[in-house]
Chain A
Amino acid sequence: MNIKDFLKELSNSTSVSGYESNITNNIVNVFSKYSDKIDYDQLGSIIAIKKGVNNFSNLKIMLAAHVDEIGLMVKDFDDSGTIRFTSIGGIDPRTLVAQEVIVHGKKELFGVIGTTPPHLQDKDKSDDAFKMNDLYIDVGYDKDEVKKIISIGDIITIKRNFTELQGGSVTGKALDDKAGIVTMLQCAKELMKLNHEADIYFVSTIQEEVGTRGAITSTYKINPDIGIAIDVGFGRTPELDKSQSLEIKGGPGITIGGNIHPNLRQKLVDTAEEYNIPYQFEVESGPTGTDARSIQISRAGIPSLLISLPLRYMHTSVETIHMEDIKKSGNLIARFISEITSDNLEGYLCY
């Protein structure tokens, strides 16, 4: 499958943290073409395994991109039938005002997020941001009717269709981190053309947005020699400082810092140089806010890397990314993987 089509399919489907099983099949269908075996951890992370060649020392490289997306959840009803909600994962309530949503009850209900109209608000409060408690969802039914279809605990998603912008830029919801999964696919495709000794574990991790939980359980299960997290990084916009953002079309962001194995990171940089793949750096002093955080300290410690895809407007429903960055990131990881052998790995891991 074309990587852009796959991104569209994933972005348009629903996989709020804890409720990812909805798109398990989409992922299995695509990855089974490029892998030898599909497995799962006990919480539902999806593990596609591609065997290496002459892998006598059972070398294992794990790639992790998270399959879950941020979302909303029904927490209560008003007498008027409107729905009150909370967020799953970090959502800025200001981005929710006047959005269209789908409430996933016994059936899917269309709704809109409303607020008190401006002429009924205190004038001196018009500069104040709306809080989650100020917002409600109107699905057009009264309370009795709503409760027949919707229960407390049901998932809500923003209604947003994936679309293409100019010159290879695309926009949609939940590109964080479905773009990471697509990057794994690009890597898997590329690996079909290359030799690799290690068995590759393409892991679509669950519940990253609520605490990298799928990375904890899947890494424990796999116990890899190297773990590579693929997540999104802050794409540069005018208000962001250069030192805290990544240039769009600048290629994969390679993270430097304590969470990252220094020699393997250097190998990644060398690989990028060798194959003329543009790259950029991202600096994080402590544990990163990605799956790499949990991968590194699983069991007796796992050397870990982090690749960040430049993405604008993170955690909104208009996340924007460039296909070129996805492609280059996937290619870089594939090249890196094909150069790791049981013979040279020991050298790289030596402190």
Chain B
Amino acid sequence: MEFNNDLLKSLVRTFSPSGNEERIRNLIVNEIKDYVDEMEIDTLGNLIARKKGLGKRIMIAGHMDQIGLMITDIDKDGFLRFTNVGGISPLLSIQQRVIFDNGIVGIISNEKIDDKNKLKLEHLYIDIGAKDKKEAEDKINIGDVCVYLNEYYVDESRITSGCLDDRIGCYVMIETLKSLKDTNNDLYFVFTVQEELGIRGAKTSAYKINPDVGIAIDVTKTGDTPKAERFAVGLGKGTAIKVMDKSVIVHPKVKDIMVDTAQKNNIKYQMEVLEHGGTDSGAIHLTREGVPSGVISIPTRYIHSSNETIYKEDVENSIVLLKEVLKNKFDF
């Protein structure tokens, strides 16, 4: 399998903070349109792409939104104040460059503060180089959103970039779709919105689809860095099969199918027991009368920073695992 750097690069460079997923959705539509039978965009903006089959309805979900910042105030000197769209860390934000949909670039800096531990977003501002309020207002409106400016770095084994959460999940889904010739199961690939705001898009799209099984594709953290919180997932140790997180306890039968599939196909995998966080399966599995759901995770260091880091090998294993898992009958 050839790693599709160009695709991943364009995915992570596309501006689409939560609630503003139009651009990434268009990109994905173009990328997959030849590989699916039908596509639909629902009320909240989820992209639902179906590859038809006669078997079980399976919803595969990866979120296409990214964390960002929303402007709430413009002061008389042209500085912008903001609130978070998703999990933005004040400490990681200082001296970050941000970019708006219209290409305007700004720098995040902070008011003088004595104790950095007490830093909150309200102490930060964005400098877009405007000399006064009027000049700033010509470029930016209250309610506009921006994201960290992103640089994509790749070497033999590793990729470092912002926004891998969860464009790498989208990548896995797109590449899986391309490699699937035909399918027994009825597959709904859903590129969800507003995951970073509380797993919102998955909730409404799962209600609409009413699947028999749900599989989310998302990043997970790692425990393999110096003095990291103890966590058995590491980079380069394979795709991660989730057992549980705060949002879902993976249905044992779905977990078993994933593990069996990995073992039968010699796919390198590791088990994931995550004590914080959640993902799209958290919403999917509680839809209507319940949907047995699982998660395939891509181990990622430094999540929600501009330097999210993954191993290509783990991504490739995730694609193979997803592809093979989807061949199962899911008779339970």
Contacts and interface: CB of A to CB of B under 8 A. Distances in A.
Whether chains A and B associate is yes
Contacts of A75: 230-232, 273, 275
B286 A153 contact: no
B243 interface: yes
B231 A42 contact: no
Given A74-B273, A217-B289, A221-B289, A210 B252 contact: no
B59 to A, nearest CB: 13
Interface residues of B, number: 23
| Secondary structure dominating the interface of B | loop
Contacts of B249: 17-19, 88, 207, 210
Interface string A138-172: 00000000000001110000000000000000000
Given A75-B273, A213-B286, A220-B289, A152 B244 contact: no
Interface string B122-142: 000000000000000000000
B323 interface: no
Contact of A42 (B252, B255, B270, B291): B291
B290 interface: yes
Interface string A65-105: 00000000111110000001010100000000000000000
Contact of B230 (A43, A133, A151, A213): A133
A21 B231 contact: no
B169 interface: no
B258 to A, nearest CB: 11
Given A19-B252, A21-B252, A152 B290 contact: no
**Do most interface residues of chain A lie in helix, strand or loop, or is the interface mixed?**
mixed
B292 A42 contact: yes
Contact of B244 (A84, A88, A133, A216): A88
Contacts of A210: 249
A86 B291 CA distance: 25
Q: How large is the interface on A (under 10, 10 to 19, 20 to 34, 35 or more residues)?
A: 20 to 34
B232 A152 contact: yes
Contact of A76 (B231, B244, B288, B292): B231
A141 B132 CA distance: 70
Given A43-B285, A153-B255, A73 B290 contact: no
Given A76-B230, A76-B232, 11 more contacts: A17-B249, A18-B250, A18-B252, A76-B231, A88-B249, A152-B232, A152-B273, A153-B244, A153-B273, A218-B289, A221-B289
9 contacts: A17-B249, A41-B290, A43-B290, A73-B244, A76-B232, A88-B244, A152-B271, A152-B272, A152-B273
Interface of A: 17-19, 21, 41-43, 45, 73-77, 84, 86, 88, 133, 151-153, 207, 210, 213-214, 216-218, 220-221
